[in-house]
Amino acid sequence: MAKKTVDLISEFVDQKIIEENLESIVGERFGRYSKYIIQDRALPDVRDGLKPVQRRVLYSMFKLGMFSDKPYKKSARIVGDVIGKYHPHGDTSVYDAMVRLSQTWKMLTPLVDMHGNNGSIDGDSSAAMRYTEARMSAASEILLQDIEKRTVDFVPNFDDEEYEPTVLPSRYPNLLCNGATGISAGYATEIPPHNLREVINAVVKRIEKPDITIDDVIKIMRGPDFPTGAIVQGKDEIRKAFETGRGRIIIRSRTMIENQQIIVTEIPYEVNKAALVRKIDDIRIKKQIDGIDEVRDESDREGLRIVVDVKKGFDPQVIESFLLKKTNLTKSYNYNMVAINNKRPMLMGVLQIIDAYILHQKEVITNRSNYDLRRAEKRLHVVDGIIKMMDVLDEVIVLIRASKNKKDAKTKLSKAFKFSEEQAEAIVTLQLYRLSSTDIKSLQEEMRSLQETIAELQLILNNETELERVIVDELRTIQRKLATKRLTDIEEEIEKITISEEELIAEEQVVVGITKEGYIKSTSIRSYRATEEVTLRDNDSMIFVDEVSTLNTILMFTNKGNYVYLPVYKIPSYKWRDLGTHINNIVQLEEDEFIIKVLRINDFSEPKSLLFVTKKNLIKQTALADFDVSRYTKTIRAIALNKGDEVVAIDITDNPDAEVIIFSQRGEALRFNLNEIPLTSTTAKGVKGMNLSSKQHLASGIVLKNHHDLLVLSNRGHIKRIGVTEIPKKRRTNKGVQMYKIVRSNPHLVQDTCIMNATQYKNRVIIRINTTTQEVLVNAFDVKYEKSENGKQFVRPKKGTPLFMDIEQVEEDPSITPLSDYVREEDHEIVQQQLFE
């Protein structure tokens, strides 16, 4: 017995097992699910502009008699009725849909009139449904107008106990008036609201002139009209959206500036006001822009109002532009007009939507006219029978009195006087007072009225022009009842907000420090002066220390021919004793790439140029303006290099008639005019420097100034001071003059050069010599004209260690006698005495 039971169970289970490919099972079920959520959940119908849940909420309220002139009823009652009869889903989704229909900042024409807390533009949620009350708005009554006259199709509900409409009569074009938003499977829709008066005018124009174009429509229906107002920019994109269903517009807040205050009175559609205020305050706290003193939300029952207080000395216009660019005070909106048309999702232009609506209205008016015609004809038939009965009233009375019952009376009336079933029913149920002469007259008047009504209805049903006239007349009536003035202004062009970041920065003086290992920092002058010793890593030293403005720009050039463009205000701020941040945290350098020159630039429009000297005997001159860029998140090409070449020297000058000296490694020097080097772009390679043997390389180069001496640093730590006139002037590409004594073992090789003026000499400025292991500071006064051909040794570097030299810059004093005017003296004390007397 047990075995038999097991066999039966196994047989039953086997019958229930379906053997089918998993791919086809999932595909078929997902297809059904997709079809459901596309048609019956997320996308609106093009005819009434409603999703199923919205339609069911409004129809349920209609059936409950919750009209705009009736008392409010609890929202929970409505939600319960919707769930129980039409929408078998969670109460939250139904209530949320109903709340949205009541929110004046989301619906241009609200369809639900809610009493109580229905949320806010700050993103606050509504009160629970047990606390709020609701009823239909006047607009939603018009959407449902004539629904009881069989104007639309009805289908059974989920349990076949009720009937619900597949679409509402929608006596005005709700899809364009209130818009829609939704996400489905493979489809999404984003339709903005438009002004009801303009939409109806466009529909009427389309009926009256079927060949109307998009250009004609856009003159009538100017663009979206958001319930939050604001300003829409981009008329071309509106036209594109009207034509194709897709387009991108910009919504900009309505702002004004009063007494160092930026006042916002309207914000873009579906922007959370509280989040917007927080964002502006975050900008203030994080100092993304200087000048914002306070942000306040002063909104009240009078309307929206956000106030941004601007500090004195700052331009409110600049701060307003920054906020418009960086926050949701300006927001883009993308038209994506997808709706269900003929049970299919379609991307539609405005004319397609209007045509679908007009077709729907023709069906509604036709169905209503047929319904009214049937009722009028039926009533006319009855009235005609009663009037005929008056001619034989006495016989009718006798016949009825002689009848056994009502049924018998109706049968005798039909046989005796040829009355129809309906006429006989009306006669036997007629009240005696209706037999008075007054009522007879009223019946005759009703008969004439019914005949006129029937004639009008037949004309509507048989004449397309008359049908369209009725639609137009009724739309005009609704327009007068519901139309409101436009809230959103339309502007022709999208305004491009361009902000110079320098405008957002308060100018102040700071000290910038950069080390040869690439550590960089910005600090206040106070911190710099209060710190006796800077913190450096082992074997590192400073290659740039200068007091600069936050509006200046630092250019850092590398041996690879690249440069880093770094506005001073973007340099991280540290205390002077801190190490700072590495340049790779700002801009990534290559592994074997390092900084060889740092320049501070006040104004890129100044008539200056940069000189580049490369190891493989190329020199190039490029205008300073070419180095000004707007994007600088990575290194930028300053000079194109051949394979194996690298930059060895960079200098800047404002004198196109200046002279240049370039040095080879072995100490050959060539002096020539700067104008022999053509001005080329940052992507050029340059021209040949001097006549060198194939084994020689250039080591340095510098632009000369009048009355300056030249300091040359060798690999053995010697500084040689040279009067410029000692080097004969030649043409570019000539052979240079040997400045060092040639020796075979451990020769002096040029490492770096700089120039020194009399002011620096007198002020005993510091000459900084950097190696990879140490930094040596040399007093300029200690660098003399040496009898030795190789100069004086100031540092003893390890063999093969690269050296760099930099001299402290001071403003040149023209009253000091130039160095070049002094006659060379064997006794340096005579020169010293002349200088300091």
**Which residues are known catalytic residues?**
131
Tell the burial category of 209 from Cβ atoms under 10 Å away from its Cβ (0-12, 13-18, 19+).
exposed
| Alpha-carbon separation of residue 798 from 300, 716, 776, 801, 822 (angstroms) | 76, 8, 14, 6, 36
Tell the burial category of 772 from Cβ atoms under 10 Å away from its Cβ (0-12, 13-18, 19+).
middle
Alpha-carbon gap, residue 468 to 475, rounded angstroms: 11
Contacting residues for 384 by C-beta, under 8 A, at least 6 apart:
423, 447
Nearest in space to 226 (alpha carbons), one of 104, 313, 317, 115: 104
Give the angle subtended at the CA of 544 by the CAs of 541 and 550, to the nearest 5°: 135
| Alpha-carbon separation of residue 620 from 202, 596, 678, 685, 764 (angstroms) | 67, 16, 7, 7, 33
**Sheet bearing 618-623, strands edge to edge:** 647-653, 609-614, 618-623, 687-688
Q: Do residues 86 and 57 touch, judged by C-beta distance below 8 A?
A: no
Tokens of 29: 């079920």
Q: Where are the beta strands (DSSP E) in 589-644?
A: 595-601, 609-614, 618-623, 636-637
Residue 775: beta bridge partners?
Answer: 770
Contacting residues for 367 by C-beta, under 8 A, at least 6 apart:
149, 150, 151, 152
Q: Alpha helices, DSSP H only, in 186-269?
A: 196-208, 214-220, 235-244
Residue whose structure tokens are 């209530």: 95
Nearest in space to 545 (alpha carbons), one of 515, 573, 565: 515
Alpha-carbon gap, residue 449 to 318, rounded angstroms: 72
